[in-house]
Amino acid sequence: MRLSILAAFLTLLHLHLTTAAILPHHKSNLELLKSLPKPNPEPINPFPTPANNTNSNSTTYPTPKTYALLLFRSFEILDAYGPIEILSFVAHFHPLRLLIFSLQAPYSSGLAPVLTSPTLSSAPVNNPLNSSFYPTFNPTHPIPTTDQQWEEMREVLESVDVLMVPGGDGVYSPDLEGEGRELDFLRRMVGEFGIGGKKEGKDKYLVTVCIGAAVAARAGVLDGRRATTNKMVWGEVTPLGEKVKWVSPARWVVDGNIWTSSGVTAGLDLTFEFVRQMYPDGVDMADLIAGAIEHEPVMDWRYDPFAERFDVPPQN
């Protein structure tokens, strides 16, 4: 009995010390962050960061607090939860809140999980071996589909500071279009709630990862804006936004309060840059988090070897 109690105590002590080593607490946060060894200051690609890709609001506080994910069937998991992993560390230093929106069946009781499996119509192409390797994810809120629901959820929707849209095969689905569906939700969040711009003087951000830009392009919220996307499917995505100023080469692109990344893991680099720019201790936090997850972020938004690899010509 005593040995089991001692073992439990030692386990808790180990967890405490491990957590304390990675995520320091209270007043010692910044001091410890500054004392950590710095990564190699040489950039991966030795270009200075141009001013036209730097958020002019980077010193505007209060900092973003409420992040929201827009999930739909067959979304790409890392597009959504790679950035969330980084932000979960930031939540140890700044109070953050995560909301997850998804379309729900009418009159459903409770919130149904979001599926990552292909739709039945696309399964023969996207799942030819009939695999069952598709996790599900639980939303926190339904997408409002009626005027009454929009009003009932207004306080929650107005609290959103950053709306993130992942990619995945689902971005091409015709089911995203229609009144009360995902594209309608995105248009209204941009037009009525200031996402990607300002609302009552407060900055609001739209972030797309990989071919999540296709969702934003289909919704028309990228019209006239500079944006980028996955270079492997450049020819499939860019025609969905004929009025978008598609940028290549680009690991990520910032146009005002709209941030878009190239393919999948580029979303990690975009998120690290977002943290650096949005929080007063963002540089130190980004260094700490990158070390904790053992990732070397690309620091130059123009470092994009995949543009050449997939024969995407320079533009915009």
Of the candidates 267, 170, 167, 264, which has an alpha carbon nearest to the alpha carbon of residue 211?
A: 167
Contact 289, 86 (CB under 8 A): yes
Of the candidates 173, 166, 176, 309, which has an alpha carbon nearest to the alpha carbon of residue 234?
A: 309
**266 vs 83: CA distance, rounded Å:** 10
Contact 144, 150 (CB under 8 A): yes
Pairing of strands 245-246, 226-227: parallel
Cis omega (within 30 of 0) for bond into 43: no
**145 vs 182: CA distance, rounded Å:** 10
> Is-catalytic flag, 210?
yes
Q: Which of 70, 157, 210, 247 is catalytic?
A: 210
Positions marked active-site: 210
